[in-house]
A and B are shown apart, each in its own frame.
Chain A
Amino acid sequence: MKQRIRRNRPVILIRNVLLFLVATLALPSWVYAGDTLVVYSGRAERLIQPVLDAFQAESGISVQMLTADSTALINRLQMEGARTPADVLITNDAGTLERARELQLLQTTTIPDLDTTIPSRFRAPDNSWIGLSGRIWVIVYNTTMVRLGDISSILDLADPQWKGKIAIPGAGSVYLQTGVSVIRAVKGDEITTTFLQGLKDNAGSFVYGKNRQIVAAVARGEVAAGLVNHYYINRHLAKHPDAPIAPLLTDQEDQGMGVVLNAAGVGITAQTKRLAPAQALVRFLISPKGQRMFANVNKEYPLNPHVTAAPELLPLQSFQVALVPLSRLAQLRNPTMTVIENVGLR
Chain B
Amino acid sequence: MLPLLYVAFSALTADPAVWRRLWATRVPELFLNTLSLSLGVAVINLTLGVSLAWILTRYTFVGSKIWDWLLILPLSIPSYVLAYTYTYLLKRGGTLEQVWQTIAGPEAVFFSPFSFAGAVLVLALNTFPFVYLLTRSAFKNFNVSFEEVARTTGADRVTTFFRVSLPLIRPSLIAGLFLAILYVASDFGAVSLLRFQTFTYAVYQQMTGRFDNTAAACLSLVLVACAFVFLFGERWFRQRSRFYQTTSRYRKPVPQPCRPLTALLFTGYLLLVFGAAFGLPVLLLIQWTVKAASAGEISHVFIGYVWNSVSLSGITATAAVICGIPLAYLACRRRTWASTFCVQGAYTGYVLPGPIAALAVLVLVSQTVPQLYGTILVLLMAYLVHFLPAALQGMESTLQQLTPNLEEAARSLGARSLRTFFHVTLPLVRGGFLSAWILVFVQCMKELPASLLLRQVGFDTLAVRIWLEASEELYQLAAPPALLIVVITIPVVLLLMRKDQT
In this complex, what residue of A is CB-closest to B316?
Answer: A24
Please, which residues of chain A bring their CB within 8 A of the CB of B89? none
* B370 CB contact (under 8 Å) in A79, A99, A337: A79
Q: Is the CB of B453 within 8 A of A72?
A: yes
A window 83-99: CB within 8 A of B: 83-86, 99
For A38, what are the chain B residues with a Cβ–Cβ distance below 8 Å?
Answer: 457-458
Q: Which residue on A lies nearest to B363, using beta carbons?
A: A79
Q: For the complex formed, measure the closest distance between the CB of A327 and the CB atoms of chain B, giving whole angstroms.
A: 16
Let me know if A75 and B207 touch, CB within 8 A: yes
A228 CB → nearest B CB, Å: 16
Q: How many angstroms between the C-alpha atoms of A208 and B458 in the bound complex?
A: 30
Contact B366 A79 (CB under 8 A): yes
Give the shortest distance, in Å, between B474 (CB) and chain A (any CB). 8
A196 contacts B by Cβ under 8 Å: no
CB distance A64 to B314 under 8 Å? no
Interface size on A, residues (CB 8 A): 58
Chain A hits for B376, CB < 8 A: 28, 31
- Beyond A3-B428, A341-B25, whether A172 also contacts B311 by CB under 8 A is no
Interface size on B, residues (CB 8 A): 54
Q: B208 in the interface, Cβ–Cβ < 8 Å?
A: yes
Main secondary structure of the interface of A (DSSP, over half): helix
Residues of chain B within 8 A (CB-CB) of A31 are 376, 456-459
A81 to B242, CA, bound (A): 55
Partner of B422, one of A14, A28, A46, A86: A14
Do A66 and B210 touch across chains, with their CB atoms under 8 A apart? no
Kindly identify, within residues 455 to 482 of chain B, every residue whose CB is under 8 Å from any CB belonging to chain A: 455-459, 468, 472-474
For B210, give its contact among A71, A84, A85, A210 (CB under 8 Å): A71
Residue pair B457, A71 in contact (C-beta under 8 Å): no
CA distance A342 to B376 in the complex (A): 38
| Interface residue from B92, B112, B473 paired with A220 (Cβ < 8 Å) | B92
Q: Please, which residues of chain B bring their CB within 8 A of the CB of A344?
A: 25, 29
List of B residues within 8 angstroms of A205 by Cβ: 112, 115
Partner of B311, one of A28, A69, A170: A28
A337 to B424, CA, bound (A): 60
Shortest distance from the beta carbon of A62 to any chain B beta carbon, whole Å: 11
Q: Is B450 an interface residue (CB 8 A)?
A: no
- Is the Cβ of B315 less than 8 Å from the Cβ of A10? no
Query: Which of A25, A67, A74 is within 8 Å of B468, CB to CB?
Result: A67
- A5, A67, A81: the one within 8 Å of B427 (CB): A5
- Do A75 and B314 touch (CB < 8 A)? no
Residue of A with least CB distance to B456: A31
Question: A80 to B373, Cβ gap below 8 A?
Answer: yes
Give B residues with C-beta under 8 Å from A: 21, 24-26, 29, 92-93, 112, 114-115, 195, 197, 205, 207-213, 307-308, 311-312, 314-315, 318-319, 322, 362, 366, 370-371, 373-374, 376, 422-424, 426-428, 430, 452-453, 455-459, 468, 472-474
Could you pull out 25 A-B pairs where Cβ atoms are within 8 angstroms?
A: A3-B428, A5-B423, A5-B424, A13-B427, A13-B430, A17-B322, A28-B376, A28-B456, A31-B457, A38-B458, A46-B472, A65-B457, A68-B208, A68-B452, A71-B209, A72-B208, A79-B362, A83-B374, A85-B374, A99-B211, A172-B195, A205-B115, A341-B26, A342-B21, A344-B29
